[in-house]
Amino acid sequence: MPSTTLIDLNTIASITLFLTTIVVAHSANQHQQFYPTVVHLVSSKISRIVLICDLILAIIYFGKLLKNIFFGTLRMYEEEVIWEKGYFTLIETCLALTIFREELTSRMLTVLGICLFMKIFHWISELRVKHIESLPNTSLSTFIRLYICLIVLIGVDCYFIYNFILHYLKEGATVRVLFLSDFVVMGITSLSVIIRLTFHAINLSKQDEEGTGGWEGRDVSIFYLDISSEILQSFTYLSFFLIIMSKYGLPFHLIRNIYIAVNNVKKRVMDLINYRRIAINLDRRFPDATQQDLDEYDGVCVVCREDMRINTTQNPIKKLPCGHMFHAKCLRGCLERAQECPTCRRPIDVLLSEQEHREHHSSNNNTPTTTPTANNTTNISPTITLPQSFNLSTSVNIDNNLLLQQQQIQQLLLSSSTTIPNLINNNNFTELQKVMSDMYIRYLESMRDNITITLEQLKQLNENNND
């Protein structure tokens, strides 16, 4: 947590400890004996509030101790994600308690606190495993601490799942169904995280001393693991949604989780389809880098950190439309997880569409302009030569409204409005070409006359000013 939060927490702890001392001293002074003093502390409302605050602070400091043992110092990103998820979880829990408000007891509130406590460590474990996957090396102590933490989390999840399932089979849907759904989802998450950590360990074990190489199938394995986890979580949310709705009504607290889970499954499936579509034609869509491209590049693949000096047939170097280059195996592994460039993060579909547009545009520019004739042949459009007397002075800025009068434009359009459609209907393209050329020449001649008149007016105006 941030330093300001630590100061606030320590301040609150000091105030709570001071109030606890006053309450205990007052109760002991009033009753003089141990048992009456304990009874008074438990029965008095003020004493109970102070003792509950002490219990909450003890749980917080115990969680910080476990956090330091298993994870050490949290990164700023991890803290932000935990606070964000904790905020939404607290809101969803308050909505869920409105459904089961008649069944709430002190025991269920204790289970609720344990559930929230466990969720925080599940979030930290998932974020930490994803973080160490991006690191080139991971110490053995980090693996041991993460494995111990995940095994403990899975054991606690299984314990509560087993007890809540037995209770559901005996008494049906009660408030324990709420906690059963949470612990099932947490069990799926912790199981997928420990499998993901195992994949990372296998990948590191297959790397050489320089940190190159590794397990080629890790990315695709993680991809399918994520899909399986999202599907199981979606199925869990939907199942408990139907169970709670059948007895208590619409569970609003599960709507957001169902939407996120289903949306994630949809996204994963679309990523799988896009990856299959891109990977099938990987060699055809992305050309091999030339030796000149490799000489101009920095010579290092950003994925595997290996040199890219020479293009080999076993692992060719591919060049993306954005200009970045990677080994074919590295690129395939990155596309299995996300269909975007590993360097600039631009979507592959966008890059391919831009490349096709450039190729289409260049092919159109290289194709000569042709017009069809009556004999279904093509002739190059004729070149129109301007009269020699047409001379445009570039030293004078002339308004476009003076260059072409509106009446002359109307005359040109009226003269051709009946001729051109008839020629098109009769497929007389030769005459159409002549009419269009004649219109263009007349248009240029009118422009010449207007420019000449304008230049004479400007010259006369200049002479009058000199006089």
Over the stretch 193-208, which tens digit does the pLDDT of each residue have? 999 999 988 888 887 7
Residue 425 has pLDDT above 80, yes or no: no
DSSP strand E in 210-304: where?
A: none
Q: Identity (one letter) of the amino acid at 121?
A: F
Give the residue, 401 or 234, on which the prediction is more confident: 234
The confidence band for 401, taking pLDDT boundaries of 50, 70 and 90, is very low
C-beta of residue 294 within 8 angstroms of C-beta of residue 302: no
Q: What secondary structure letter does DSSP report for 213?
A: B
The confidence band for 34, taking pLDDT boundaries of 50, 70 and 90, is confident
Element holding 235 (H helix, E strand): helix 218-247
- Average pLDDT for 95-117: 82
Q: Report how far residue 35's alpha carbon sits from residue 160's, in angstroms, rounded to the nearest whole number.
A: 35
C-beta of residue 243 within 8 angstroms of C-beta of residue 173: yes
pLDDT given for residue 157 in this prediction: 93
Alpha helix segments (H runs only) across 289-381: 291-296, 328-337, 348-366
pLDDT in tens, 138-178: 888 999 999 999 999 999 999 999 999 998 888 877 878 88
Provide the whole-model pTM.
0.62
What are the tokens at 24? 């205990």
At residue 288, what are phi and psi to the nearest 5 degrees? -70, 145
The structure tokens 């002075």 sit at 393
C-beta of residue 127 within 8 angstroms of C-beta of residue 133: no
